[in-house]
């Protein structure tokens, strides 16, 4: 059965100790100031300096190694019974790989590489080691975005496309295989559009299958074509097999990452652009651009005069080649930020100013009490009461408060997820919960369905616990 033979390629003690069905582990263009990746001229007539050698020389600095630590307990769920509160815990190390997508230190990797870790460090190709934090995550698509603070701008990996991949075309993988940093392997595209299922909760759709050597620790690393363009993100291997590995197609990765970093999700504001990624793979390197499909009514994009069919060439300092670039342009902007936008329309160049505006879609008008308690009771089955920071700082000094669980509806969503009276809710999804309004913000969020299942964090006694809320209306 396939689900018992597939392994995610994250390296760590936990990967070697967990078993699934049959004992097999599931160890599941750029800113204007970006560095230009130098091209090598190669020694004329030197047969050793192959195309692969030149590709690796160009992109190796765009690949990073990820080292993590997590705490695991001896029980499967921290919410099973009271005795689980005193479980023996121990630390395990994990490793993975990341890809530079922005010179300021933004990286993409697999979600399972950083899931439930409390310590993350990234090691650059030059040996520099930096702490990393998680900026965004998408468990369903197994992607996460990390941020480091490099001393100088980092080179960004060239983007390819997965739309025109050919069976048997050569590919190159770079990754932190078994902790051996920047390991290079080669292979071919073995198959396309592979669906891989682990269990009812974890499955992948339309993966690239490759014969390149992918090992634990390669998760989140690049799969490249012979031009050095990113065509996939390595994600899984088939355990106990040889030359069977899988990668997420880059076109889907770009779409998902763009949604993860969308300014409407981060700041609750919108630029009003509804665009579409366009690719011309007939040239070398490939050509990418963003075409405007439409603009949102009464939005900044409409006020700036953008129209369907426009090609966005630049936003702020960022040359725009894909929708991810649009969101990258606003990554470190403050609310209501204004950026210059350059577009091409029927051969003419047009410049305008694009400002962020409040997005009413973030919290729709839902009848709730002034404290948000009604929607919390209706959707979760909880009565909550704010507590002072000193109620939770004994667990973590950085906590700023929380919400005490006063009542739990029997068999409600919260009860099924393991909430108990006396718990202190400190976080929901990616936001802290200091007031009831914080909770109602998440429950009324226009993108709530994409968060599912929603992770929560509670303080119980002297310990920090986490869990997942089931799907709820």
Q: Nearest 5 degrees, angle CA 324-CA 171-CA 235?
A: 60
Question: To which H or E segment does residue 450 belong?
Answer: helix 448-451
CB 407 within 8 A of CB 421: yes
* Pairing, β 318-319 against β 63-73: unpaired
DSSP string, 279-322: EETTSSS-EEEEEEEEE-TTSHHHHTT--TT-EEEEETTEE-SS
Residue in 169, 79, 47 with CA at minimum distance from that of residue 469: 79
- Where does residue 112 fall: left (phi above 0), alpha (psi -120 to 50 degrees), or beta otherwise? alpha
327: CB partners within 8 A, 6+ apart: 258, 261, 262, 263
Dihedral through CA 315, CA 429, CA 412, CA 367, nearest 10? -40
CB-based contact 227:285 (threshold 8 Å): yes
Distance CA 166, CA 192 (A): 8
Active-site option among 7, 68, 211, 219 = 219
Q: Tell me how long the chain is.
A: 473
Q: Is 219 annotated in the active site?
A: yes
Please name every residue paired with 108 in a beta bridge, in sequence order, or none if there are none.
99, 145
Out of 84, 102, 115, 142, the active site residue is 142
Residue 398 CA to residue 389 CA, distance in Å, equals 9
Q: Are 232 and 162 in contact (CB under 8 A)?
A: yes
Residue 212 carries which DSSP code?
Answer: S
Cα separation of 245 and 447, whole Å? 32
Q: Which one is catalytic: 7, 30, 102, 112? A: 112
Cα 465 to Cα 77, 146, 450, 459: the distances in Å are: 10, 23, 23, 6
48 contact partners, CB below 8 Å, separation of at least 6: none
For this structure, is 142 an active site residue? yes
Q: How many angstroms separate the CA atoms of 186 and 174, rounded? A: 9
Q: Are 264 and 361 in contact (CB under 8 A)?
A: yes
Q: Does residue 112 have an active-site annotation? A: yes
The catalytic site residues sit at 112, 142, 219
């Amino acid at each position: 059965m396939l689900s018992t033979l597939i392994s995610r390629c994250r390296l760590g003690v936990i990967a070697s100790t967990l078993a699934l069905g049959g004992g097999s582990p599931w160890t599941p263009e750029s800113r204007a100031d970006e560095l230009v990746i130098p091209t090598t001229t190669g020694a004329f007539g030197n047969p050793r300096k192959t195309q692969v050698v030149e590709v690796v020389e160009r992109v190796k600095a765009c690949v990073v190694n990820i080292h993590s630590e997590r705490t695991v307990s001896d029980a499967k769920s921290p919410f099973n019974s009271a005795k689980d509160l005193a479980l023996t815990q121990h630390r395990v190390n994990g490793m993975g790989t990341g890809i530079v997508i922005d010179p300021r230190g933004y990286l993409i990797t697999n979600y399972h590489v950083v899931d439930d870790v409390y310590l993350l460090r990234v090691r650059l190709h030059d040996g520099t080691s930096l702490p990393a934090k998680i900026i965004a995550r998408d468990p369903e698509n197994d992607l996460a975005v990390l941020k480091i603070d490099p001393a100088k701008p980092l080179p960004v990996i060239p983007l390819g496309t997965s739309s025109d991949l050919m069976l048997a075309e050569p590919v190159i993988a770079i990754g932190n295989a078994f902790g051996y940093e920047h390991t290079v392997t080669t292979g071919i595209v073995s198959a396309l559009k592979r669906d891989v299922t682990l269990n009812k909760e974890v499955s992948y759709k339309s993966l690239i299958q490759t014969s390149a050597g992918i090992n634990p620790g390669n998760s989140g690393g690049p799969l490249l074509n012979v031009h050095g363009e990113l065509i996939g993100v390595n994600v899984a291997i088939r355990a106990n097999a040889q030359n069977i590995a899988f990668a997420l197609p880059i076109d889907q990765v770009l779409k998902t990452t763009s949604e993860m970093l969308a300014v409407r999700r981060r700041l609750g504001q919108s630029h009003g652009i509804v665009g579409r990624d366009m690719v011309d793979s007939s040239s070398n390197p490939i050509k990418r651009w963003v075409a405007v499909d439409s603009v949102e009514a009464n939005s900044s994009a409409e006020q700036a005069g953008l129209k369907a069919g426009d090609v966005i060439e630049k936003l702020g300092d960022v040359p725009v080649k894909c929708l991810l670039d649009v969101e990258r342009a606003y990554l470190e902007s403050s609310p209501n930020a204004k950026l210059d936008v350059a577009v091409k329309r029927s051969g003419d160049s047009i410049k305008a100013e694009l400002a962020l505006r409040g997005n009413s879609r973030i919290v729709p008008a839902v009848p709730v009490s002034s404290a948000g308690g009604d929607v919390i009771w209706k959707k979760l089955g909880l009565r909550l009461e704010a507590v002072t920071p000193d109620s939770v700082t004994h667990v973590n000094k950085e906590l700023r408060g929380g919400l005490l669980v006063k009542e739990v509806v029997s068999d409600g969503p919260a009860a099924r997820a393991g909430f108990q009276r006396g718990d202190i809710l400190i976080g929901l999804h990616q936001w802290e919960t200091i007031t009831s309004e914080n909770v109602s913000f998440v429950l009324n969020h226009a993108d709530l369905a994409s968060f599912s299942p929603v992770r929560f964090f509670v303080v119980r006694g002297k310990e920090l616990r986490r869990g997942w809320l089931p799907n709820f209306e």
